[in-house]
Structures are given as C-alpha cells and as structure tokens.
Amino acid sequence: GAVVSQHPSRVICKSGTSVKIECRSLDFQATTMFWYRQFPKQSLMLMATSNEGSKATYEQGVEKDKFLINHASLTLSTLTVTSAHPEDSSFYICSAPGQGAAGETQYFGPGTRLLVL
C-alpha cells in the first residue's frame, strides 16, 4: 500500500527556535496533504490543507504565520513551527489521500513528536 513518511520522528528544541517537519509520499504523488495535531488523549485536530503549487488552507484558529506550510513538490510537504514555545509541544501528523479508487482513503505518516523546552 501507499506509504507516507515523516522526518524527524521526534525533535526537542529551545523556545524561540523554528522547527521544520517533512512529510513525504514515498510511492505515490499527492497534490494535497493534510497536517494534524494530536494532543494527549485527544483526537486529531486538522490544522491545514497543503496544496502543491499554491497556498495552504488553514483551519479556523490556526495561526498561518506560526505554522508555515510549503508543498514544494508532488511528494513533499513541510510544516515549519516558527518561534516555537512550550505550548507548541505536541504530536504532528501528516496524511495524503490515496489515488483513484482509494481516493477516500487517507495514508498517514507515523507522526513527529515535538518538545519545546
């Protein structure tokens, strides 16, 4: 099946620094990718839709300047957490929709755990 990878799997950074998280579709192309944030014991919260070749679409309440998204190619989307603060510590997950008949199925990356000190 389709595989989505994320890098890094976990990162620790100091408050005020920026962190970039990569999401790659390994064996298929994705014009759209989704970024989620997962809080402990809570559901996945959709942050934004990443669109190849155009601006990302952010969900209500998500700061665009805080969470920069770039969909540079059909297989890569990046999420940059700018000027990170401890409250940004979370588990970030990306996904990409399948193609053709699997279009409704989302393929998820393994997630990136961010800890901001």
C-beta separation of 4 from 24 below 8 A:
yes
Task: Tell which one of 52, 74, 80, 108 touches another protein (CB under 8 A).
Answer: 108
- Of 100, 86, 52, 57, the closest CA to residue 72 belongs to 52
Q: Is 46 in the site for another protein (CB under 8 A)?
A: yes
User: Could you tell me which stretch among 11-19, 44-52, 64-72, 74-82 binds another protein (CB under 8 A)?
Assistant: 44-52
Q: Is 35 in the site for another protein (CB under 8 A)?
A: no
Task: Tell which one of 11, 13, 44, 62 touches another protein (CB under 8 A).
Answer: 44
- Least Å from the CB of residue 50 to another protein: 12
d(CA 22, CA 77): 6
**Mode of pairing for the β-strands spanning 19-25 and 76-81:** antiparallel
Partners of 60 in the β-ladder: none
Q: Is 54 in the site for another protein (CB under 8 A)?
A: no
d(CA 9, CA 21): 9
User: Could you tell me which stretch among 12-20, 34-42, 65-73, 81-89 binds another protein (CB under 8 A)?
Assistant: 34-42
C-beta separation of 111 from 6 below 8 A:
yes
Q: Is 16 in the site for another protein (CB under 8 A)?
A: no
User: Could you tell me which stretch among 13-21, 39-47, 61-69, 79-87 binds another protein (CB under 8 A)?
Assistant: 39-47
